[in-house]
Amino acid sequence: MTNPLLQLAIIWIGVFIANLVAAKTKLTSVLYFLAFGALMVNVGILPTAPSEFIKGFAELGIIIIMFALGFEENTRNFVRSIKRSWGIALFGAIAPFLAAFYLAEYFWANTNISIMFGLTMTATAVSLTMVSLKGLGLHSSKAATGIMTSAVLDDIASLAAVAVMVPIATGQTSLTVLAVAEMIFKAVLFFGGVAIVGAYLLPQNSRGWMSRVPIIGRLGVRDLLLVAGKEHSSLTVLLLALLAGLAAHQFGFHAAVGAYMAGLILREEYFLLDTVGARSSYKRTKAVVDIAAFSWVGPVFFVDLGAKIVFDWEILASVIPHAIVLFITIFFVQIISATLAARYTGNFTFHESVMIGFGMLGRAELAFVVMGIAYVENAILNTAAFYTLMFAIFWLNVAVPVCLTLWKPYYDKAKG
């Protein structure tokens, strides 16, 4: 098939079907996007080598997805809850990272593959868990807040680690003390720069020494949104996301890293452009971004990623034991580490801690971004390793709604 528009039409049909099935099964639609891509390429409907148009569309998709995920976070609530959730994020990420790393070392004896395994398993699926909790009426609970904050911290740490490790793993930077120090310096410079932009350049009427800087001290992102007009606010923020992605690329990082950080530093109050229908401006912008990210642009990335799974039955059969071992190991390591951390560093009750342990099992958008970078863009993962991660992540995601549903009666009883 050579017509790229026909390819896109087929992909969108799959996205439509996947969303319907996901709503019925209460699982993340990402799984079905991947499954559809794999099915279509293996029956010969989609080509094994996508057109440049589809590749570019998919790259834009992951930039918008990562921006939408960052944009969804309430920055102030996130910062307030860090004090209670840091331990869950730290120990709930280190334990699965080490478990996945050493399993991959045992399976393939390749440090670069092992690092990518570890990074993939530190990225918790916020959306999958929150959808599952919402279905159980627990999305506003203390446990849900702990899960969300910890997952975001893990995702930021994963992105920072990807930014540093991928150039080393691909040989773009040699593994020397000086090279590693240079990459860390770039990471600190980039993330520090984003923090400065978020703290001083975006807010209206900067405080402290920044207030004395001509023009910048008086103007903020709200002025930019006002100039663009309400009807173009979504274009404005998506432009900011793309520019942040391009800046990240200039530092040697993936564009998705910059887009996520751009979303994270934007706040709802920047969209309060007038007193009449002030909140509606933010909600309208967020709705447009979410539709683009999760309905028609972003899903192309996941379908395209799924289309990389060209079944080789010999390889497939050989990795089933690897996938089973990886799934079982991460299942128990993640639950135990997150539960203990929630109980003893976050002072959550036992029933809340177990709920957090189950809620940290999922792996979705960011995990697949890491896999896409490692397998598609840089060929760090081999086919067997890619298949192993795919199957293990699928069952981890299935385990989230199942475990949360089974635990809910005990949770409700303890809450009394």
pLDDT at 154 over 90: no
The angle subtended at Cα 171 by Cα 167 and Cα 174, nearest 5°, is 90
pLDDT in tens, 326-341: 999 999 999 999 999 9
* Domain range summary for the chain, segments of one domain joined by +: 4-415
- Phi, psi (rounded to 5 degrees) for 181: -60, -40
pLDDT at 172 over 70: no
* Mean pLDDT value across the chain: 82
User: What's the pLDDT score for residue 176?
Assistant: 66
pLDDT in tens, 9-64: 999 999 999 989 988 886 667 778 888 998 999 999 999 888 899 989 988 988 89
- CB crowding 99-134: b at 16 or more within 10 Å, else e: bbbebbbebbebebbbbbbbbbbbbbbbbbbbbbbe
Residues 97-126, mean pLDDT to the nearest whole number: 90
User: What's the pLDDT score for residue 141?
Assistant: 80
Confidence band (pLDDT; 50, 70, 90) for 273? low
DSSP 201: I
Specify the long-range contacts of residues 131-135, CB closer than 8 Å, at least 24 apart: 131/26, 131/28, 132/26, 132/359, 132/400, 132/401, 132/404, 132/405, 133/359, 133/404, 135/26, 135/401
pLDDT in tens, 211-251: 555 555 566 677 777 776 667 888 889 999 999 989 888 88
- Phi, psi (rounded to 5 degrees) for 311: -65, 125
Place of tokens 């939408």: 68
User: Could you give the CA distance from residue 21 to residue 24 in angstroms, rounded to a whole number?
Assistant: 5
User: What's the pLDDT score for residue 9?
Assistant: 95
Confidence band (pLDDT; 50, 70, 90) for 284? confident
Place of tokens 């912008």: 285
User: What's the pLDDT score for residue 276?
Assistant: 53
User: What's the pLDDT score for residue 228?
Assistant: 66
The angle subtended at Cα 176 by Cα 170 and Cα 178, nearest 5°, is 115
Confidence band (pLDDT; 50, 70, 90) for 98? very high
pLDDT at 388 over 90: yes
Residues in the chain, total: 416
Q: Which CATH architecture has domain 4-415?
A: Up-down Bundle (1.20)
User: Could you give the CA distance from residue 288 to residue 282 in angstroms, rounded to a whole number?
Assistant: 10
User: What's the pLDDT score for residue 335?
Assistant: 96
pTM of the predicted model over 0.85? no
pLDDT at 206 over 60: no
pLDDT at 200 over 80: no
Confidence band (pLDDT; 50, 70, 90) for 114? very high
Instruction: Please classify residue 354 by burial: count the beta carbons closer than 10 Å to its beta carbon, then call 0-12 exposed, 13-18 middle and 19+ buried.
Output: buried
- Residues 14, 63 contacting (CB under 8 angstroms): no
